[in-house]
Structures are given as structure tokens and as C-alpha cells.
């Protein structure tokens, strides 16, 4: 998750296969644990624009693809559903506030937060609202759906667990400061960072705090869980790896800029961007640097990883593709605007958005 105005296992394979077929789930960072890894095959070259859609206002949200549809929120208060093949608007849903976070979709229901303080559940077939859940402030956190529960944060300082079918509150947890990050769900816990500078592990069934890890600097980077470690970045310029059971630091590495980028974890490495203009790959166990690549702008977006490539955008207006093993530059695609949000790979295309409100699909 980025700051506004600045901003693989068999199970994963099965989830993403179902998504490609129009069922299952799709959400920010690809899955509930926020691995950032997709089983979709990316394009071999980025030399052709498949389509472009121009929204009527700015876009801060990252696109999400499910089946043959691209979902994207806009500052004009609408959630847009675009045709994956042609890019035209299939339908749109209006809220009463900015929609600046990625959606989640599970079993035919779309979940999306708005600056009007509500989380909405929308039927993907009828496009009608099923229910809405009110918080006390804007919802900037992208929802995560796991085992029939929707987890999301609000600027009102709370992490919420809501029944995915009924919209009834299961529990809420007071983090004392605003939550902009998207919760990662793995094992028995939900992991969330707050602007108060603490990463929390919360029991996903009871809402009880298991531990907290203080960094004393705002956290906009959504956590990613891989095995016994949870990874996240902070305004203090560090990327952290913390033990999921004990809440103890395993390693931390400092960059030269604030980290809004949410990390992705694949095989032996954790990947992320920094506002210092670099894209990094660190060893996920030790924090040793595998490789780095300098772009010409701050990197607020979060990387998407395929079997052989890393896709990430920069405020220099480029979508970059690197070899995920050694960081070798592969391709880039340039647009005439700043890029803050994260790309998504689907149907042999990369879909990404510019701050000005244009959605691009390149292959």
C-alpha cells in the first residue's frame, strides 16, 4: 500500500488457476499471505499497447483481475469493471467517496473500501450491492478475504473482521493509529501495520493481539508472510523480517529512502522498491543483497513476480521488467505520467495505471 500523494506453493497455484477461470479469489498482492507471486505468464516483450482506458479522475488504486474483468477504483468514487481483452467499461459502481484501494473478490462477491467510510460487498454478476459496513473514517486499506471473513483496516485506527456473506462484524482491534496497509492472513494470525509504527499479529478468530513489533515510524508497506517470517517496510527506510511466532526481529536492512512498497517473496528472495529509486532483491532468510536496480524515480509500487520475471513501476513513468534471479534488465514501457500503484499480470498482458487516471494493458 502506498501513501496517498507521495503512494510457490500448490495452494497459491490452485487459487490463481481458479481466478483465471473466473472463480476462486483475487486480491491485492495476489493471495491472503501477500506473496506477490502469480502463476500467470507475463509477456515476452513490452512493445505493444493492447488497450488504454482513460478514467475521469486520478487513480491511486492498483488493478485486480478476475476472470475476464479488470477492476479498478477511481478518485471519482466509482469502481470500474473493464473488459480484459478490449479495455471498455463493462459496468461501474458508485460510492460516495474516493476509491483508492484495490478490491478483493471471492466466490462471486467483490469487496471494496471507500472514503465514504464504508466497505462494500457487490455481487459480481448483478453488480448490485449485497451489503455495506460502516467504519468511523475512510477505508484506504485493501481488504483480504480468508475462510469466509473479510479483514481490512480504517483510518479510524481499527482492524476489522467482517463476515463475508452477511457483513456482520466478527471483531475489531484498536491499533491506536490509522491503518493504511492491507492485512496479510497466514496460519492463525492476521498481520497489519499502523501509522503508529507498529506491526501487529492478531489472532484471526478472536481478534486478540499475539504480539507487536515497534519500528517507531509510520508503516505504509503491507506485510507479506512466507513460512515463519513476515516482511514489511517502513518510513524509517528499513525492510524488516520478523519471526511470525515470537515477534522477534530476524534481520533488517536499510535503504536510502522511505519504503512504501509491499514486499513480494518468491523462492529464496524478497523483492521490493524504495523511494531511493531502487528495486531490491534480498535473501529472504539472511537479508543479504542479491541484486539491485536503479530507476530514475521513486518506487512506491509493489512488485509482481512470475516464474522468471519481476514487474514493477516507477514514478519515472516506466513499467520495468527484470530477471527475478539476477536482476538483469529485460524490458520497459514508458508512459507520460507518474506511476505509483502496482501492476498485475493476466492473459499475457501487464495492466498498470498512471496517477492521471489512465489504465494501460501492454503485451
Domain that holds residue 222: 10-362
> Domain for residue 168, yes or no?
yes
Rounded to whole angstroms, the Cα distance separating 211 from 227 reads: 17
pLDDT at 14: 30
Q: How many separate domains does the chain show? A: 1
What CATH number does the domain containing 239 carry? 2.130.10.10
Q: Could you give the C-alpha distances from 355 to 67, 131, 211, 264, 317, in angstroms and in order?
A: 25, 30, 36, 22, 10
Does the pLDDT of residue 9 top 50, yes or no? no
Per-residue pLDDT tens digits for 132-151: 999 999 999 999 999 999 99
pLDDT at 19: 37
Average pLDDT over residues 114-129: 97
% of the chain at pLDDT higher than 70 = 93
pLDDT at 39: 85
Average model confidence (pLDDT) across the chain: 92
Question: Given pLDDT bands bounded at 50, 70 and 90, which one contains residue 1?
Answer: very low
> Domain for residue 3, yes or no?
no
Q: Which residues contact 342 (CB under 8 A, 6 or more apart)?
A: 28, 62, 102, 262, 301, 302, 303, 304, 312, 313, 352
Per-residue pLDDT tens digits for 202-242: 999 999 999 999 999 999 999 999 999 999 999 999 999 99
Average pLDDT over residues 285-304: 97
pLDDT at 40: 85
Instruction: Pick the more confident residue, 303 or 15.
Output: 303
> Domain for residue 29, yes or no?
yes
Does the pLDDT of residue 11 top 90, yes or no? no
Does the pLDDT of residue 4 top 60, yes or no? no
> Domain for residue 2, yes or no?
no
> Domain for residue 42, yes or no?
yes
Does the pLDDT of residue 116 top 80, yes or no? yes
Per-residue pLDDT tens digits for 234-285: 999 999 999 999 999 999 999 999 999 999 999 999 999 999 999 999 999 9
Determine if the pTM surpasses 0.85: yes
Q: Could you give the C-alpha distances from 32 to 136, 150, 155, 164, in angstroms and in order?
A: 25, 10, 21, 14
> Domain for residue 294, yes or no?
yes
> Domain for residue 1, yes or no?
no
pLDDT at 70: 97
> Domain for residue 5, yes or no?
no
pLDDT at 18: 35
Question: Given pLDDT bands bounded at 50, 70 and 90, which one contains residue 24?
Answer: low
Total count of residues recorded for the chain: 363
Buried b (16+ CB within 10 A) or exposed e, 34-61: bbbbbbbebbeebeeebbebebeebbbb
Rounded to whole angstroms, the Cα distance separating 132 from 140 reads: 15
Question: Given pLDDT bands bounded at 50, 70 and 90, which one contains residue 46?
Answer: confident
Q: Give φ, ψ of 232 to 5 degrees.
A: -165, 160
Cross-strand partners of 238:
254
Dihedral sign of CA atoms 229, 300, 278, 335 in order: positive
Quote the DSSP letter at residue 263: P
Amino acid at each position: 500500500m502506498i501513501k496517498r500523494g507521495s503512494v510457490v506453493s500448490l495452494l497459491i497455484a490452485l487459487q490463481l488457476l481458479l481466478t483465471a477461470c473466473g472463480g476462486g479469489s483475487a486480491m491485492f498482492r495476489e493471495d491472503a499471505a501477500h506473496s506477490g507471486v502469480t502463476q500467470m505468464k507475463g509477456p515476452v516483450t513490452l512493445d505493444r499497447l493492447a488497450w488504454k482506458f482513460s478514467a475521469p479522475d486520478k487513480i491511486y488504486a492498483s488493478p485486480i483481475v478476475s476472470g475476464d474483468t479488470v477492476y479498478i477504483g477511481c478518485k471519482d468514487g466509482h469502481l470500474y469493471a473493464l473488459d480484459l481483452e478490449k479495455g471498455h467499461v463493462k459496468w461501474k459502481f458508485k460510492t460516495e467517496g474516493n476509491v483508492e484501494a484495490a478490491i478483493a473478490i471471492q466466490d462471486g462477491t467483490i469487496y471494496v473500501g471507500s472514503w465514504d467510510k464504508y466497505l462494500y460487498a457487490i455481487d459480481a454478476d448483478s453488480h448490485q450491492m449485497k451489503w455495506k459496513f460502516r467504519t468511523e473514517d475512510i477505508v484506504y486499506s485493501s481488504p483480504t478475504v480468508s475462510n469466509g471473513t473479510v479483514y481490512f483496516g480504517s483510518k479510524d485506527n481499527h482492524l476489522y473482521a467482517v463476515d463475508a456473506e452477511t457483513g456482520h462484524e466478527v471483531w475489531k482491534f484498536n491499533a491506536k493509529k490509522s491503518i493504511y496497509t492491507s492485512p496479510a492472513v497466514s496460519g492463525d494470525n492476521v498481520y497489519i501495520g499502523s501509522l503508529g509504527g507498529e506491526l501487529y499479529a492478531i489472532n484471526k478468530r478472536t481478534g486478540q493481539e499475539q504480539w507487536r513489533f515497534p519500528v517507531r515510524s509510520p508503516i505504509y508497506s503491507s506485510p507479506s508472510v512466507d513460512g515463519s517470517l513476515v516482511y514489511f517496510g517502513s518510513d524509517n527506510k528499513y525492510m524488516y523480517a520478523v519471526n511470525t511466532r515470537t515477534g522477534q526481529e530476524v534481520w533488517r536492512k536499510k535503504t536510502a529512502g522511505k519504503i512504501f512498497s509491499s514486499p513480494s517473496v518468491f523462492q529464496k528472495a524478497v523483492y521490493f522498491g524504495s523511494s531511493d529509486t531502487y528495486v531490491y532483491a534480498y535473501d529472504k532468510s539472511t537479508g543479504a543483497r542479491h541484486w539491485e536496480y536503479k530507476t530514475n524515480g521513486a518506487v512506491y509500487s509493489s512488485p509482481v513476480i512470475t516464474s522468471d520475471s519481476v514487474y514493477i513501476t516507477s514514478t519515472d513513468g516506466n513499467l520495468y521488467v527484470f530477471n527475478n534471479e539476477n536482476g538483469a534488465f529485460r524490458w520497459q514501457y514508458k508512459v507520460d505520467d507518474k506511476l505509483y500503484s502496482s501492476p498485475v499480470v493476466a492473459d499475457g498482458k501487464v495492466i498498470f495505471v498512471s496517477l492521471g487516471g489512465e489504465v494501460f494493458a501492454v503485451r
